Amino acid sequence: MNVPVQNIIVEYETRVFRGGTVSSVGATSIFLQAVPPPDDWDDARATPAALVRARIFDAMTRAVAEKGYAASTVADVTARSHVSRRTFYEQFADKEECFLLTYQAASLATLARIARATSALPVEDWRDRLTVALETYVGVLSDDPELAQVTLIDILGAGPRALAAREEILQQYTDFYRRLAARACQANGLSPVPDVFLRGVVGAIAEIVQQELMAGRVRALPNLVPTLARLALIVLGDRSADTLGASVKPAASPGEEDGLIDTPGRRPLNR
C-alpha cells in the first residue's frame, strides 16, 4: 500500500519534533544541514528517510562521544534518535556500518562546506583559499566538540575498517592540497610538491588539531589557523610563510582549559 508522502512527513515530525523544537538533533547539526531541501515531489518523498538517517547519524555521534565506540550500542543510538530497532536495521547492517557511514557523512559534509567557502574566491588567490579552507575546517570542529572528538579521536580506535575509511577521507583532503599546489605553481612559479609531502601536511594538520582536542581546547581551535596555514605554506614552498607568526600552543578561551575533559556526563578524551 502506498502511503501519501504528506502522511509520512507528519508522522516523522510528530515523532521527532516535540513542541516545535528538535528533541535531540540541534538546528546546527551538520547531518541535518546536509539534507538538501526537496526540489520536487520525488525529492519530497525521499526527504523523510534522509532526515531519519541524519538523525541516526547524529545520535551515533552523541553516543560515541559520551561512551566511546566499543561501549556504545545500537540501543543507545535508537534511544537518542527516537527510532525503532527495526528502522535502524532497515538502514544499517550493524553498529559498525552505522558508525562508518556516520564518519563518512560528517567528513563529506565538512569537505562540502570547504568547497562552498573556497569556490567564491578567485582561482589565483590560492593563499586566501588555503586560509578560508582552514577556517572552515576548524570552525566545523569548534562548533561541535562531540563531532570533533568522534571524527578525529574515536575513529582511530574503531578497528581496521574505520582506519581505512579515515584514510579515504584524508586522501580527499590531500586532493584539495594537490589542487592548491597546482594553482600555486601557476600563479607564483613555485616548484611542484610531491604527493607524499601533501599527504604529510594533511596528517600533520590532523595531529595538531587532535592534540588541541586532547588538551580540552576545542573552542580555541580557530586560533590554530595561522599555525596551520604557515605549515601548509612552507610545504608548498612559499617562502613568504617565513614571515608569518605562529603560536605553538593557542591560548585557551575563558573556561576552556579543561574543555571536554571535565564536562559532566561526558567521557574524558584522554582515556
Give the tens place of pLDDT for each residue, 182-199. Answer: 988 887 777 788 999 999
Is this structure's pTM higher than 0.75? Answer: yes
Residue 268 has a pLDDT of: 53
Determine the Cα–Cα distance for residues 102 and 10; give it in Å rounded to an integer.
Answer: 25
Mean pLDDT of the chain: 82
Instruction: Give 17's strand partners.
Output: 22
Residue that the C-alpha cell 500500500 belongs to: 1
Q: What pLDDT score does 46 carry? A: 77
- The more confident residue out of 39 and 91 is 91
User: What value does the mean pLDDT take over residues 78-87?
Assistant: 95
Q: How far apart are CA 214 and CA 189, in angstroms?
A: 39
Q: Which of 164-168, 193-197, 221-225, 262-266 has the lowest mean pLDDT?
A: 262-266
The pLDDT value recorded for residue 43 is 73
Is residue 21 over pLDDT 50? Answer: no
- Residues 163 and 251: their CA atoms lie apart, in Å, by 31
Per-residue pLDDT band for 237 (boundaries 50, 70, 90) equals confident
Task: Sketch out the chain's domains with CATH numbers.
Answer: 5-17+24-243 (1.10.357.10)
